[in-house]
Amino acid sequence: MRFPLIAVWIGLWTLVFGARPGFAQAPSTPPKAAAGAYFTTFDGLKIYYEVQGQGPPVLLLHGFTGTLDGWRGTPLCTELLAQGRQVVALDLRGNGRSAKPGALAGYEHDAEARDVMGLATALGFAHYQVVGYSRGSIIAARLLVLDPRVTAAVLGGMGEDFTDPQWPRRIAFYKALSGEGANPEFAGFLQSVQTRGLDRQALAWQQQAQPSTSPAALAKIRVPVLVISGAADNDCGSAEALAQLLPAATARRVPGTHDTTLKSAQFAHEVASFLQQHNQKTAVAK
């Protein structure tokens, strides 16, 4: 089985190293820099997060091997701040400045989603919206199942493949990172992990424990969801197929690949418009 590893590697590099200071930068009056802090999780870990702006909250969830830095300087953050939103992003456990549990158990049982829920509680959010991209969308899907405070969600760069507990792509990444199988197609990816000083074992555990959300569970979600991918992005399945599993979902395609879409103006416009449309709606029963 072959995977678009060159594209994945370029995308990961872009998400991590294509960042600029501050969540967003307007051309005339740059917004106040994001305030960084740590909160303590349900299992006593320290998770790093940043907050920028004031108003109805939006939580941003980064992709695999990324950090919250991948959101910096994106047109999406600029638009959300211009709307008068409070933009919150975190380094998911095992990444960046956040704690990296030293055992598989530290990533199991929806630990990442529970971290996000804990952050929302720590910040006093009665309701919030969430935007995930790539693997962040997998965690966002768990929030749709677990947290009634979520009033709208965006699943970016994701198709229906993650609903399969035996997703071949996930298993292939786990085996490559854990050393269980020698696959030359992953050589460039593994070299980038080493070059960037990432915790290879933590990444392997993230893949091993990565949650799936079944089609049956998604069918119960009544929260509005935008499923959005680049026109050339089917790396994780079809955005349209995923949207069909969610009763209140809309699918959108914008120009771009899995690697470029996150930072595009078209993506920002679609996401910000969707969130603004559902900004005043309260949480509904799931």
Domain edges within the chain: 5-277
pTM of the model: 0.88
Note the pLDDT of residue 279.
Answer: 87
Q: State pLDDT tens for residues 84-130.
A: 999 999 999 999 999 999 999 999 999 999 999 999 999 999 999 99
How far apart are alpha carbons 67 and 144 in whole angstroms? 22
Q: Which CATH class is domain 5-277?
A: alpha beta
How far apart are alpha carbons 81 and 54 in whole angstroms? 8
Q: State pLDDT tens for residues 134-176.
A: 999 999 999 999 999 999 999 999 999 999 999 999 999 999 9
Note the pLDDT of residue 87.
Answer: 98
* 100 CB neighbour count, 10 Å cutoff: 18
Strand 35-40 versus strand 46-52 pairing type: antiparallel
Report the pLDDT averaged over residues 22-44.
Answer: 70
**Cβ within 8 Å of residue 58, ≥6 positions away:** 80, 85, 86, 87, 88, 128, 129, 130, 131, 275
Contact indicator for 12, 69 with CB cutoff of 8 Å: no
Q: State pLDDT tens for residues 224-279.
A: 999 999 999 999 999 999 999 999 999 999 999 999 999 999 999 999 999 999 98
Taking each helix axis as running N to C, give the angle between helix 111-122 and helix 135-146, from 0 to 180 degrees, rounded to the nearest 10: 70
Note the pLDDT of residue 3.
Answer: 45
What's the half-sphere exposure (Cβ side, CA atoms, 13 Å) at 166? Answer: 0
Note the pLDDT of residue 16.
Answer: 36
How big is the chain by its Cα radius of gyration, in Å? 17
Give the single-character DSSP code of 150. Answer: E
